[in-house]
Amino acid sequence: MNVRLLARNVLMVLAGVAGLVMKRWLAVYLGDLAYSYLGNLAVSFAVYFWVSIAAPARLNRVMIAAMALAVVEVFEFTDGFRIMTNVYDPFDYLANALGVGLAYFIDVISTHIIKTNSGSP
């Protein structure tokens, strides 16, 4: 993996974690919707980039997105893998999908920018 892409992936994981940590603070400004679903969106976003770091190079973005979505949806379905307590809300599944979708979109756009700026094909 390209060093710039790896650095971008690590920064995106950290951005997702920051979104999760700042959920309560952001909810003050964004309301109950943010409090309820921002954590799912942020974690799903981070998981996408974490999977892209851990995945073999032969996997494409769609496969990475499917794996990330599977991880977060199984987490939701199993009540936090029976390790963490999770409050069931069917809209969490949608928030997870939106987080992975946002990560996919940012992956496509930022990869194009990184490759254009570094002169890679």
**pLDDT, tens digit, 9 for 90 and up, residues 12-26:** 999 999 999 998 888
Kindly report, residue by residue over 26-48, the tens digit of the pLDDT. Answer: 888 888 888 889 999 999 999 99
Q: pLDDT-derived band of residue 120, with 50, 70 and 90 as boundaries?
A: low
> CA angle 34-26-13, nearest 5°?
85
Does 9 fall in a domain?
A: yes
Tally the domains of the chain. 1
Kindly report, residue by residue over 33-92, the tens digit of the pLDDT. Answer: 888 899 999 999 999 999 999 998 899 999 999 999 999 999 888 877 667 666 778 899
Contact 46, 22 (CB under 8 A): no
Does 106 fall in a domain?
A: yes
Q: State whether residue 99 is helix, strand or coil.
A: helix
10 is in which domain, residue-wise? 3-116
Does 121 fall in a domain?
A: no
Does 8 fall in a domain?
A: yes
Does 15 fall in a domain?
A: yes
Q: How far apart are alpha carbons 74 and 17 in whole angstroms?
A: 19
